[in-house]
C-alpha cells in the first residue's frame, strides 16, 4: 500500500481554498475534501511496515499549534508548470512536528528523506496549461492569504492512484495535545 503522513484541513479552510478552484484552463483541481499538507511520503510499504509506522507515530507528543496559509506557488519541471499550491507561513511548530514524523519513520526502519521539507498544499495539477494563463491566475490570486487555523492532529493516509486521479483514505489519526 502507498502511504503518506499528512495534516488534513478543517472545513472552513477547505471552503476558503475552494474559491481558488477556477480560472485556469487545463487545471485538474484537487477536490476540497482531499486538500492536505504532506509531512512525509513513504510510498509503497507492506502491512508489517505500516504497523511499525503507526506505532512510531502514536509515540509522538507535541502540542497543537496555529498555522497560517499565505501565497500561491508552483512546482515546475522541464520548463512546464506541473502543479499549483498554497504556501504556509514559516512555522517552528510545523517543522518540529515534521521532524518528529521523519524520525518516527526512520525509527520504523525507513531511509531518511533527503529532500528538504517544502510545506505546501497542492491545489491543482496542470497539463499543458499555457504559461500565460498561469501568469494571469497568479496575478489574480498570488497573494491569497487567510486567517491561521488550529492544527489539532495529523493522519496516516493511504493513496490509491486511480485513472481519474488520486484517492486518499485516512488509516489512522494522531491527535495533538492542548498547547
Active site residues: 36, 120
- In the complex, the smallest distance separating the C-beta of residue 102 from ligand ATP, rounded to whole angstroms, is 11
- In the complex, the smallest distance separating the C-beta of residue 4 from ligand ATP, rounded to whole angstroms, is 4
Between 32 and 166, whose beta carbon lies closer to ligand ATP? 166
Alpha-carbon distance of 4 to 169, in angstroms, equals 10
- In the complex, the smallest distance separating the C-beta of residue 11 from ligand ATP, rounded to whole angstroms, is 19
Alpha-carbon distance of 106 to 167, in angstroms, equals 26
Contact predicate 38/46, CB 8 Å: no
Contact predicate 12/32, CB 8 Å: no
Between 52 and 98, whose beta carbon lies closer to ligand ATP? 98
Residues that bind ligand ATP (CB under 6 A): 2, 4, 38, 41, 122, 125, 159, 161, 166
Contact predicate 132/74, CB 8 Å: no
Between 122 and 141, whose beta carbon lies closer to ligand ATP? 122
Alpha-carbon distance of 161 to 149, in angstroms, equals 29
CA 8 from centroid of its chain's CA atoms: 8
Between 138 and 157, whose beta carbon lies closer to ligand ATP? 157
Alpha-carbon distance of 61 to 122, in angstroms, equals 27
Alpha-carbon distance of 47 to 12, in angstroms, equals 34
- In the complex, the smallest distance separating the C-beta of residue 12 from ligand ATP, rounded to whole angstroms, is 21
Amino acid at each position: 500500500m502507498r502511504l503518506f503522513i499528512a495534516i488534513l484541513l478543517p472545513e472552513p479552510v477547505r471552503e476558503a481554498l475552494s474559491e481558488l478552484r477556477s480560472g485556469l484552463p487545463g487545471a485538474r483541481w484537487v477536490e476540497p475534501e482531499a486538500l492536505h499538507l504532506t509531512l512525509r511520503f513513504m510510498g509503497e510499504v507492506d502491512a508489517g511496515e505500516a504497523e511499525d509506522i503507526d506505532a512510531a507515530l502514536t509515540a509522538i507528543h507535541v502540542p497543537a499549534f496555529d498555522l497560517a496559509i499565505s501565497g500561491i506557488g508552483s512546482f515546475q519541471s522541464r520548463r512546464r508548470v506541473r502543479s499549483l499550491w498554497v504556501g504556509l507561513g514559516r512555522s517552528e511548530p510545523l517543522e518540529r512536528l515534521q521532524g518528529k514524523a521523519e524520525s518516527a519513520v526512520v525509527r520504523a526502519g525507513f531511509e531518511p528523506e533527503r529532500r528538504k521539507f517544502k510545506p505546501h498544499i497542492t491545489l491543482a495539477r496542470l497539463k499543458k496549461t499555457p504559461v500565460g494563463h498561469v501568469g494571469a491566475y497568479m496575478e489574480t490570486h498570488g497573494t491569497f492569504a487567510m486567517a491561521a487555523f488550529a492544527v489539532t492532529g495529523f493522519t496516516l493516509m493511504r493513496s490509491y492512484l486511480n485513472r481519474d486521479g488520486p484517492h486518499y483514505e485516512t488509516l489512522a489519526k494522531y491527535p495533538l495535545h492542548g498547547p
